[in-house]
Amino acid sequence: MGSTGRMVSVLMPAYNHGKYIRQAIESFLAQRKVDAELLIGNDASTDDTLQIVQEYAALHPDIIRIISNSRNLGLIGNYRSLVEHSSARYLAILESDDYWTDPLKLHRQVAWMEGHPECGLVFTSGEYVDEAGNPVGEKREEPGERRRCNSLLYSVLMANPVLAVTACFRREAFDAGCRMADFVERGFVTFDYPVWIGLASCSDFYVMEEMTAAYRVSGASISNNASYEKREAFQNGIDEIVRYALEKYGTGNGSSGYGLSPEDCRALLNERLAKHMILALAFNKFERYSYFCKSIDPKAGLKWAVMRYLPWVFRFKKRKLIGTGTVHRLQAGE
């Protein structure tokens, strides 16, 4: 770990984001009333990313640190390095093409967790923007507490509620619920989703009502790519994260708060198949759609039995997707 002892370490993995990273860094520098540092992991960028971050680090050496990788570690390896360089009490994610819009974001989140030690994660609503920064949608969540139990873990596994750029989380809960070595070994395609799952297993969540951040929807993103093959590969990566979670937590009776029941596990695996079905419909991949339908476990409930044996019903309900070529924000089960 590092030795700065800040209240918050902001983790910024960066690879070839010279076009956007100034806005991301400026949004960090705009934060008020919080003891925070920015850790930038330059993952062997080949554009001007390193030069830009060095410029900012020279101007703000007390709060901006660069961890420059001599070779490309990939997203998870880069995050692992950033976490290892932090000794802060709280962690926040600010990827180098996103930005914050509320200068009191971190202050409010830290203040809540300081007063509520059972809370491991605070997040907010966020805005989706295109590559030029124009609004293209929102992700809104009802504010309030979400207490730890099997239902919180189940809900996070069923559909990712947290837009990463809006989150701040407790390092102690991260260390208790997450194993970065596992993330790297299993080649996870994203960092935030397995972190939320780990935090849900050992702490409460809290949603603030403010809109605090912007997430940039890029055409180059795997989760928003125009290629069916790349999108399906990303979904396969999310499947691996869910399977990993079921291996860890799928041993309870579904009522004790310490695990997921067999029924929960069946429903979660079916939900992943449903995501593949939606994607297949969007790209007119009807043979793939049929394949995933036949893989549904009907024992999970009536809804799933209908999808398994009457696949045309689900296809009719999702008919607007057919031929669109895209399904926005499918990543991590959203």
Res 189: pLDDT: 97
Tokens of 212: 């605090």
The mean pLDDT of 75-100, rounded to a whole number, is 98
Whole-number Cα distances in Å, 237 to 222, 272, 333: 11, 11, 11
Res 4: pLDDT: 57
Q: Which of 145, 161, 153, 146 is nearest to 264 (CA)?
A: 153
Residue 218 maps to a domain: yes
Give residue-wise pLDDT tens across range 267-287. 999 999 999 999 999 999 999
Res 330: pLDDT: 42
DSSP string, 166-186: G-EEEHHHHHHH--HHHHHHT
CATH number of the structural domain spanning residue 85:
3.90.550.10
- 203 shares a domain with 61: yes
Res 218: pLDDT: 79
Res 333: pLDDT: 43
Give residue-wise pLDDT tens across range 209-236. 999 999 999 766 655 567 899 999 999 9
pLDDT surpassing 90 at residue 314: no
Res 221: pLDDT: 61
Residue 34 maps to a domain: yes
323 — alpha (psi -120 to 50), left (phi > 0) or beta?
A: left
Asked whether the whole model's pTM tops 0.75, one would answer yes
- In sequence order, the β-bridge partners of residue 92 are 10, 168
Q: Using a pLDDT cut of 70, give the percent of the chain over it.
A: 90
- 154 shares a domain with 173: yes
- 87 shares a domain with 144: yes
The mean pLDDT of 70-90, rounded to a whole number, is 97
- 217 shares a domain with 202: yes
Res 258: pLDDT: 57
Residue 8 to residue 94: CA distance in whole angstroms:
12
Q: Where are the beta strands (DSSP E) in 165-315?
A: 168-170, 204-216
Give residue-wise pLDDT tens across range 234-262. 999 999 999 999 999 986 655 445 578 88
pLDDT surpassing 80 at residue 193: yes
pLDDT surpassing 70 at residue 152: yes
pLDDT surpassing 80 at residue 334: no
pLDDT surpassing 60 at residue 200: yes
Res 316: pLDDT: 87
pLDDT surpassing 50 at residue 173: yes
The mean pLDDT of 300-318, rounded to a whole number, is 90
- 268 shares a domain with 162: no
- 250 shares a domain with 143: no
- 292 shares a domain with 208: no
- Going 139 to 25 to 1 to 33, the CA torsion angle's sign is negative
Res 224: pLDDT: 58
- Choose one of 222, 244, 262: the last residue of a domain: 222
Res 327: pLDDT: 46
Full domain range(s) for residue 299 = 224-326
- 155 shares a domain with 81: yes
- 121 shares a domain with 30: yes
The mean pLDDT of 176-203, rounded to a whole number, is 97
Q: Are 253 and 205 in contact, with CB atoms under 8 Å apart?
A: no
- For the chain, the average pLDDT equals 91
pLDDT surpassing 50 at residue 332: no
State whether residue 277 is helix, strand or coil.
helix
The mean pLDDT of 293-316, rounded to a whole number, is 92
- 37 shares a domain with 83: yes
pLDDT surpassing 70 at residue 311: yes
- 186 shares a domain with 151: yes
The mean pLDDT of 92-110, rounded to a whole number, is 98
Give residue-wise pLDDT tens across range 13-52. 999 999 999 999 999 999 999 999 999 999 999 999 999 9
The mean pLDDT of 83-91, rounded to a whole number, is 98
Domain count, the chain: 2
Residue 184 maps to a domain: yes
